[in-house]
Amino acid sequence: MNHLESKIEPRRCNWNTKDPVYLAYHDTEWGRPLHDSKALFEMLCLEGMQAGLSWITILKRRESYRKAFAGFDPKQVSLFSREKQEQLMSNSGIIRNRLKIQAIIVNAKGYLEIEKEKSFSDYIWSFTEGNPIIHHYKAHDHIPAFTEESVKMSKDLKKRGFKFVGQTICYAFMQAVGMVNDHETDCFCYEPISRLSGKY
């Protein structure tokens, strides 16, 4: 055996790449229950920005998005002017898609309206009755593109004026923020995340 021990990589979900940014996201964020309203708003916006693109494209621009959109502070974003939108269209750190930029501003206004009724976190988690749904998928190709819950979320968000919140985007969001545990069952993250829900 070589005197330098080779590091044994843990078993991860098959959708992973070897990109260190992606690996860190999978290992420390994806699928872990998130209840901070502002952080949920940020993730919903970022998932919408992914439409037609790969997630790593957005993930590597996350800090640029945070800077461009005032740390995803809904109050500040909701007040972005046309002039500000034009400035964002020249920002090379984000995806310069006018409809997507406008969607974040529209969604910030929708967020503030929801907060008049209840916290955004309580609203979002109501689609799974406040608890994570633990799935038992052995392979990535067994995981659906959307579910009954994501369809309901999409319809309600659209009714409230949100943009880029289709049923598939909503399901990707639910996976990301731990509303469902869609880590493959032999992924090293599956058991500890399932335990967080108290259902494992």
Q: Show Cβ contacts of residue 9 under 8 Å, excluding neighbours closer than 6 positions.
A: none
List 15, 25, 115, 137, catalytic entry: 25
- 30 is annotated as an active-site residue: no
- HSE-CB at 151 with a 13 A cutoff on CA atoms is 5
* Alpha carbon distances (Å) from 28 to 143, 176, 178, 189: 21, 11, 12, 9
25 is catalytic: yes
Angle 97-102-106 from CA coordinates, rounded to 5°:
150
Q: Is 187 annotated as a binding residue?
A: yes
The active-site residue, picked from 22, 30, 42, 55, is 55
How many Cβ atoms are within 10 Å of 59's Cβ, its own excluded? 17
Active site includes 111?
Answer: no
Residue 144, classed as helix, strand or coil, is coil
Record the tokens describing residue 35, joined without a space: 């209840």
Residue 142 marked as a ligand binder:
no
Phi-psi region of 4 (alpha: psi -120 to 50; beta: other; left: phi over 0): beta
Q: List residues forming the annotated binding site.
A: 13, 26, 183, 187
Residues known to be catalytic:
25, 47, 55
Q: List residues forming the annotated binding site for Zn(2+).
A: 13, 26, 183, 187
